Chain A
Amino acid sequence: MKSLLTLTSLFLKQLIRRRSLWIVLIVFAAMISVNYFIQSQMEKAIGRGVSFDIATRQAASALQSFAEQIRSYSVFLILIVSALVAPVSRKDGTTQFVLTLSVNRLRLALSQYTALSVLVFATVIIVHVGYVMAARKLGIMSAGEMALSWVFLLIPLMLFSAVIFSFSLSHSAIVTYIVFMAIPYIIIGLAEVGIEELADYVPMAVVRFMDNLKLLFPDIRGLIVWPKLSFGIVSKTPPFPNWTWQIVHTVSASFFWILLGFWFYRNYDFGSRTATK
């Protein structure tokens, strides 16, 4: 346990030196700016003669749209940061150094992920506290949401960071971005846009394959309901998701990638050349 703490602290220091801390600080600065923006927006509206009630509603609407942006961008932010931890450590030799200290691979990965989790947790808390400070003034959050809704941001993000991190244990950051950004967001996204037109040109089996390919990827964004405490309010237009199946699918797809990542990692060769298997 003590060696795990030593390793976690080592990798946390590495993360901080790799300017990841700056991401947290930027997020913190962004939250303060939002707070200030909401405040000044209300003051300006009231100054223009708008009633306090309408000014509050306008500010609340701006804040909610900001929450929507946080839900979307946090997934990208986690993808970018989580894919860097293991490759950077391999590149600067820290991974190989730790492995030569009789540390097994699983323990090494666990300590790296724990360090990453500390950073994710800190970021989520900063975002939540900043949002709560603004939302409290507008009265758009209940006490329960203020106290607990951060969990609904943290858990999906931790799950997603585990997916990305486990894959990056044996792949470069670029390959990880290609797999988790290019495939689900670009290729499948394009196919979705023109799926009906596509059926006129390619066999139905191919269309179905492309349509179903995205089931392999966890839809983390769909599970983030923060700053609310319950599912069912994020999507405003039908078809409304069956949340149970949505959760089961996301968790299953996540574990598929985590297991696949660890399978690659188990056989990974820490050398400058690629072994022929």
Chain B
Amino acid sequence: MHGMTHTDRRAGDAVIEFEGVHMVFSVGIKKPVHALQGLNLEVTAGSIVGLLGPNGCGKTTTISCLLGLLHPQGGEVFLWGKRVTGNPPSDPTRIYGVLLEDTKLPPFLNVKSALAVVCRMRGFRERGLEKELDRVIHTTRIEGLLNRRISVLSKGQARRVGLGAALVGDPSLLILDEPSAGLDVSAREEFNELVRNLRDNHRTIIIASHLLSDIERTCTHIAIMQNGKIILYEDSETLFSRAREERGDKDILVDQKYADNLNDMGIEFRPSKYPGLILILVEEPEHELLLKLASAKIVPSRIEPKVNLVSLYLDATAEANEQ
């Protein structure tokens, strides 16, 4: 078996690099499926990348290539500057946590034993192991599940335990494949909150998902995949501000103190990403809404072009299809 080879490069700022990666699957006697077609991607340290794309666009294949579970037929994958060849990096100071969509913890163990196995594999022993177990259990809020067998956990519970396993050793790279797939609304919101709490300036996180709302509120960078290629990759702030400039429709935000007035006027609203501001949800021409607000002496705090990840995603995929 081999780990890294002479083609390794000096580790720079990039944690992950894909260079022209090709992966083709054969499906019986049918036409081969080109899962990755010259994939290029560079992820820098500390970024939280949302890997978006429709089912079958190559998100899971990308992650599997990164982990060495799949061997691409073409191109190179680098993790911390080391070429990925089928074995994980041997540097014990650089660990990564993984939550794959279809990989379960050993179903024959209970939650505590499964997490203890992960702790031991990460080098924790005795008191250190207990301490790390407590930390992970507390972070993922799974205190009530410790004595239950993995095989009897619900999907939401299993995802939380899986996230706990991924967090053992406080890895500097976290790879989450469809982390909230199959969860109901409340379980998904709870899980997303867990993930959002993991954000700091040092940890690099990759989240592959087709649930745009999960990505929009969590990630610093957005990568959109289609047909095995990255068709858009940018930091989300630049992406959203540029898109806002290009669009005409406006989002109108007012101070939260006007909530009662809006209710009285029968105007719907919801909390916005800006603290203390609420977003008006009325589907009517802007000037009419502004007139209504003016008559009620409500002054908008912000007016900005209507844009969200869904519109960006649809624009990007439509553009790629045209090409």
Q: A residues bordering B, Cβ < 8 Å? A: 2-3, 6-7, 10, 13-14, 17, 92-94, 96-106, 266-267, 269-277
Q: Which of B26, B87, B104 makes the CB contact (< 8 A) with A275?
A: B26
Q: B residues bordering A, Cβ < 8 Å? A: 1-3, 23-27, 32-33, 35, 61, 64, 67-71, 73, 86-90, 95-96, 98, 100, 102-109, 117-118, 120-123, 125, 165
Q: Which of B23, B70, B104 makes the CB contact (< 8 A) with A93?
A: B104
A-B pairs with beta carbons under 8 Å apart, 24 shown:
A3-B120, A6-B117, A10-B106, A10-B109, A13-B106, A92-B107, A93-B103, A94-B107, A97-B105, A97-B165, A100-B98, A100-B100, A105-B86, A106-B1, A271-B25, A271-B70, A272-B102, A273-B33, A273-B35, A275-B23, A275-B25, A275-B73, A276-B25, A276-B32
**A3-B121, A100-B98, A270-B70 in contact; A14/B108 too (CB < 8 A)?**
yes
How far is A105 from B123 in the complex, measured between Cα atoms in Å?
18
Note all chain A residues with C-beta closer than 8 A to B87.
Answer: 104-105
Note all chain B residues with C-beta closer than 8 A to A104.
Answer: 1, 3, 87-88, 90
The 6 A-B pairs of least Cβ separation, nearest first, read A100-B98, A106-B1, A102-B88, A17-B108, A273-B25, A104-B87
- Measured CB to CB, the closest approach of chain B to A256, in angstroms, equals 19
Most chain B C-beta atoms within 10 Å of own C-beta, residue among A17, A101, A103, A277: A101
Closest to B2 in A: A266
Closest to A265 in B: B1
Closest to B34 in A: A276
How far is A198 from B120 in the complex, measured between Cα atoms in Å?
60
Closest to A277 in B: B73
Most chain B C-beta atoms within 10 Å of own C-beta, residue among A97, A99, A106: A97
Note all chain A residues with C-beta closer than 8 A to B88.
Answer: 99, 102-104
Closest to A7 in B: B121
How far is A97 from B105 in the complex, measured between Cα atoms in Å?
6
Closest to B122 in A: A101
Q: Is the CB of A274 within 8 A of B67?
A: no
How far is A106 from B90 in the complex, measured between Cα atoms in Å?
13
Q: Is the CB of A101 within 8 A of B100?
A: no
- Measured CB to CB, the closest approach of chain B to A85, in angstroms, equals 14
Note all chain B residues with C-beta closer than 8 A to A17.
Answer: 108
- Measured CB to CB, the closest approach of chain B to A73, in angstroms, equals 28
**A6-B121, A10-B117, A105-B87 in contact; A92/B69 too (CB < 8 A)?**
no
How far is A7 from B103 in the complex, measured between Cα atoms in Å?
17
- Kindly list 20 other residue pairs between chains A and B, CB separation below 8 angstroms, not including A272-B102, A275-B23: A3-B120, A92-B107, A93-B105, A96-B102, A96-B103, A97-B103, A97-B104, A102-B88, A102-B89, A104-B1, A104-B88, A105-B87, A267-B86, A269-B64, A270-B70, A271-B70, A273-B26, A274-B25, A276-B24, A277-B73
